[in-house]
């Protein structure tokens, strides 16, 4: 019988945020929309990790970073199963699940080139809803065009 180690040990972060339970296929999208690909902070990530709850998952750890409301809304739109864990002095100080907001302002671009938000200095505003097939959609407050989850472009 072998006693080989079957886990990868990753350094704990002293202060920062862990985003856990990210759908495997959206890990890199979360990294990009949060600008973590350009940060000077230490970032650890894993994808296709074993998860009892989801089969597979992704995880991202960011040192020295806590997320604002708009950033959490971005995470919720692409990774609705995500859990945010805030770490302070190596201890969990707060743990929460993300919630898909009913409205999103200033974080998503309207895909309609004729929308006023693409022609003038007007902030975007969308209502979030689910269609008859339970697909997430965004309805522009101004031009009333709907954007599907796959076509969301973050500002």
- Residues in CB range of 117: below 8 A, 6 or more apart: 109, 110, 123, 124, 140, 142
Cα(99)–Cα(83) distance, integer angstroms: 10
Q: Could you give the residue ranges of the DSSP H alpha helices within 13-152?
A: 27-33, 69-78, 116-119
Asked whether the beta carbons of 102 and 125 are under 8 A apart, the reply is no
- Residue 45 resides in a domain: yes
Q: Could you give the residue ranges of the DSSP H alpha helices within the chain?
A: 27-33, 69-78, 116-119
State how many domains the chain has. Answer: 2
Write down the pLDDT at residue 5: 62
- Same domain as 64, residue 93: yes
Write down the pLDDT at residue 49: 86
Q: Which domain holds residue 29?
A: 16-97
Per the structure block, which two tokens stand in for 154? Answer: 């973050």
CATH number of residue 132's parent domain: 2.30.30.20
Write down the pLDDT at residue 53: 78
Write down the pLDDT at residue 52: 80
- Same domain as 109, residue 87: no
Cα(36)–Cα(32) distance, integer angstroms: 6
Cα(155)–Cα(153) distance, integer angstroms: 7
In three-state secondary structure terms, 24 is helix
The closest of 68, 71, 91 to 15, measured between CA atoms, is 91
- Same domain as 91, residue 20: yes
Cα(23)–Cα(39) distance, integer angstroms: 22
Residues in the chain where the model's pLDDT stays below 50: none
The closest of 137, 119, 141 to 128, measured between CA atoms, is 137
């Amino acid at each position: 019988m072998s006693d080989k180690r079957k886990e990868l040990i990753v350094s704990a972060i002293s202060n920062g945020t862990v985003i856990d339970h990210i759908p495997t296929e959206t890990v890199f999208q979360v990294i990009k929309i949060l600008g973590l690909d350009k940060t000077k902070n230490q970032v650890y990530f894993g994808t296709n990790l074993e998860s009892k709850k989801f089969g597979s998952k992704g995880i991202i750890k960011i040192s020295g970073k806590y997320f604002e409301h708009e950033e959490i809304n971005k995470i919720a739109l692409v990774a609705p199963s995500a859990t945010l864990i805030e770490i302070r002095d190596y201890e969990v100080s707060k743990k929460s699940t993300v919630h898909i907001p009913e409205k999103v302002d200033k974080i998503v671009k309207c895909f309609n080139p004729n929308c006023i938000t693409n022609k003038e200095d007007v902030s975007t505003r969308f209502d979030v809803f689910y269609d008859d097939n339970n697909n997430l959609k965004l309805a522009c407050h101004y031009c009333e065009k709907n954007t599907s989850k796959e076509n969301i472009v973050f500002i």
